[in-house]
Amino acid sequence: MTGWEPNSQAIDYLVERGRLERVTPRKETAEHLVREARRHLASAANLAQTEDQSMAFVAAYDAARKSLYAILAVQGIRAKGGDGGHAVLLDAVRPQFPEHRQELQRFDWMRTMRNNTEYPDFDTPVATAQDVADACSTASAIVDLAAGFVAGFDSQTDTEAASAD
């Protein structure tokens, strides 16, 4: 796939630190996650037309998050739970797609805004209509990236190659 560079060094680093774990690659799971991400993106667009901007933003965020999970799932990698479980998705995926660094970096903004919106302390801003529009645009690019990657990824070939190492 154009723009994809396997970065086993970055993945190994995150596995060694207990942030990621290796699992059986599951293309079906990745495809399911991409379908869900597309539904969440459609829901975000619908909700953006209402007064529920916070839920619209969360739906867009979840679309992007599930897309990042899909990219990892098809490779046989899963984020471990706990603090920073969503942040590690970006840490694992960004080095693999240097041509898409800018849109992937926007996921970090989405993650922070989602936390501010979901857990407001009233001293930090929550998602606005413009934030929702920006999040939908970013999530759409990430969903498209994941969909193309998953569609072109042959997990059986890569599983065999990994076991030959």
In a domain? residue 110: yes
State residue 160's pLDDT score: 41
Give the domain range for residue 110.
8-160
- How many domains is the chain built from? 1
Of residues 70, 35, 40, 37, the one with CA closest to residue 149? 70
26 occurs within a structural domain:
yes
Residue 155 has pLDDT above 60, yes or no: no
Residue 2 lies in a domain: no
Whether residue 44 lies inside any domain: the answer is yes
What is the torsion angle, in degrees rounded to the nearest 10, for the CA atoms of residue 48, residue 146, residue 75 and residue 9?
Answer: -100
Confidence band for 7, pLDDT divided at 50, 70 and 90: low
At 101-111, the pLDDT tens digits run 898 999 999 99
* 118 domain-assigned: yes
Residue at 111 is within a domain: yes
Show the tokens assigned to 118: 């979901």
Q: What is the pTM of this model?
A: 0.86
Other Cβ atoms closer than 10 A to 139: 29
Please say whether the beta carbons of 89 and 29 come within 8 A.
no
| Cα(116)–Cα(110) distance, integer angstroms | 10
Cα–Cα distance between 136 and 63 in angstroms, integer?
9
Percent of the chain surpassing pLDDT 70: 87
Strands (E), 118-159: none
CATH code at position 136: 1.20.120.330
3 state DSSP class of 77: strand
Phi, psi of 22, deg, nearest 5: -90, 135
Q: Would 116 be classed as within a structural domain? A: yes
Query: What does the pLDDT look like over 17-30, one tens digit per residue?
Result: 999 999 999 999 99
> How far is 60 from 5, CA to CA, in rounded Å?
26
Classify residue 140: in a domain, yes or no: yes
